[in-house]
Structure 1
Amino acid sequence: MYLSACIEWLFKDENPHFPDRIRAAKAAGLESVEFHLWNDKPIGEIRTALDETGVQLSSFCVEPRRSLVDPAQHDEFLAAVAATIETAKSLGRPPLVIASGFTREGVSLDEQRAEAVKALRQAAALAAAAGIILILEPLNTIVSHPGMYLSSTTLALDIIEEVASPNLRLLYDAFHSNVMGEDMEDVLKGRIHLVHHVQFADNPGRNEPGTGTIDWTATVAKLRALGYDGGIGLEYLPTMPSVESIAKSREATGL
């Protein structure tokens, strides 16, 4: 496993100029970074910083965010996927993160799932043509994202299996899953091959590992036992200077 700094938050206080966060991550001994939205960022300068440092980009989000479960938004969603893919082509073709959008009142969950599958099949075809992987992220509805349709890891994996494209995989966020009361081993057992990226933040607080109640030694051991050996995104709000925060994360996780 390897660590990827979410530079949306890490190194932010020390480096207001976004591309400098890539250089700071490299100086801190990290070889991978990720961030959220892209349209507000200097893409050319980011590309220069990645080339200069050799740091890899592990993910960023499809933007603008649109609903998977509302067919009225599907054209806009697919346009967003296409635009984000074009940006990703200049940044090493990293995986692109997709969330579901909000539950539609008065519409059956089965119908919403069918719409999500339809939209994701079309998006996965666009990604396949570009040699890019899309990663679907369930988000918690208790603390951070009330009303979100996709909050269940099991449902996300069911949808991914139904879409049946190698260009659609899961982003498993341990914080969101923990908030939702999921047992990581139960929801990922036998399906770890569908997981492309994992993110860590402690609960409560969404801060660095070691500040909350999650047993990170056990979490890492279970991920290894399940067969996961990919990136671990440090997607949290640091409570201390970033270099110290990453050191604390390493100590808590053993990574």
Structure 2
Amino acid sequence: MTFAACIEWMFTKGNDDLASRIRAAHAAGVPGVEFHLWREKDLDAIERALDDTGVSLVSFCVEPRCSLVDPADHDKVLAAIADAIPVAQRFSGAGMVVASGFTRPDVPEQAQFDAAVSVLRRAAEMAHAVGTVVWLEPVYMLLHGQRMFVDTIGRGLDIVAAVDSPGLRLLADVYHAAQTNEDMAEAIGDRMRYVAHVQVADTPGRHEPGTGTIAWPAVMDVLRAKGYDGLVGLEYFPSVDDAGSLALTRRALGLA
């Protein structure tokens, strides 16, 4: 396994733009990068930097962010996917990341689950038709006492499996899973085929692995046992310089 760095938060020192951070990632031996929202990014400069270095864009976030569990938002969700697809095509099928939106307190859980499956089935059809993929990311977040509807790997995989389309996969973020004390091995079960990508950060603090309380050898044992051999996304705030952060992460993950 090797790395994909979130260049919103990494390689920022002396690099005010994402193209410069891509070049810095390449110099550090990191073969992939990820960023968040795409509409305000200089995609031409990013493309030049990727072409010059051979670094790949692994994922970006669909925007605007809309609710998958509220049917009133579904037209907006599909419009946002339609806008994101040309970006994914431009960057060799980079994953288009979506989150579920917050739980609707007065709506039955099954109705919210069914709403997410319904809109993601349509989004997956759109994506797959042109060779791209939507990535559903479980996110642990609270707003006015309400959690994200999909905030565990287990529920995310339940939805991806229900859609059962090659146009939809899961982005499994170990940091978010740790917030809910989720058992990753149990959550994944025999469904690793639905997982496209894994991101890491330690807790508390959301810094690099090795700075907090997550048992990284156990996490890596689960990923290897389940057959994951993709990139490891580094979506954290470095607590030290980038070279030191990468070294600490490699040691914590047993990839040194």
| TM-score, scaled to structure 1 | 0.96
- Partner Cα separation in structure 2 for residue 173 and residue 76 of structure 1: 25
Contact 2:169–2:194 under 8 Å retained in 1 = yes
AA matched with 1:115: A
Offset from partner CA, 1:103-126 (integer Å, 9 cap, x none): 113111111111111100110011
* Number of aligned residue pairs: 254
AA matched with 1:117: V
Secondary structure in 1 aligned to 2:123?
Answer: helix
- Partner Cα separation in structure 2 for residue 166 and residue 149 of structure 1: 22
Paired residues for 1:93-108 under 5 Å: 93-108=93-108
AA matched with 1:108: P
Secondary structure in 1 aligned to 2:22?
Answer: helix
Following superposition, the deviation at residue 146 of structure 1 comes to: 5.0
AA matched with 1:239: S
Root-mean-square deviation (Å): 1.4
Aligned partner of 1:163 in structure 2 is 163
Aligned partner of 1:84 in structure 2 is 84
Secondary structure in 2 aligned to 1:170?
Answer: strand
Identity of matched residues, %: 50
Aligned partner of 2:58 in structure 1 is 58
Aligned partner of 1:31 in structure 2 is 31
AA matched with 1:154: G
Q: Which runs of 5+ in 2 are unaligned?
A: none
Secondary structure in 2 aligned to 1:203?
Answer: coil
AA matched with 1:37: L
Moved more, 225-234 or 12-21: 12-21
Offset from partner CA, 1:151-178 (integer Å, 9 cap, x none): 1221111111111101111111001001
- Partner Cα separation in structure 1 for residue 110 and residue 245 of structure 2: 42
Aligned partner of 2:126 in structure 1 is 126
Contact 1:141–1:180 under 8 Å retained in 2 = no
AA matched with 1:193: R
Quick check: 1:239 aligned with 2:227? no
Contact 1:198–1:231 under 8 Å retained in 2 = yes
- Partner Cα separation in structure 1 for residue 48 and residue 159 of structure 2: 37
| TM-score, scaled to structure 2 | 0.95
AA matched with 1:41: K
Q: Which runs of 5+ in 1 are unaligned?
A: none
Offset from partner CA, 1:190-226 (integer Å, 9 cap, x none): 1111111000000111100110011212211221011
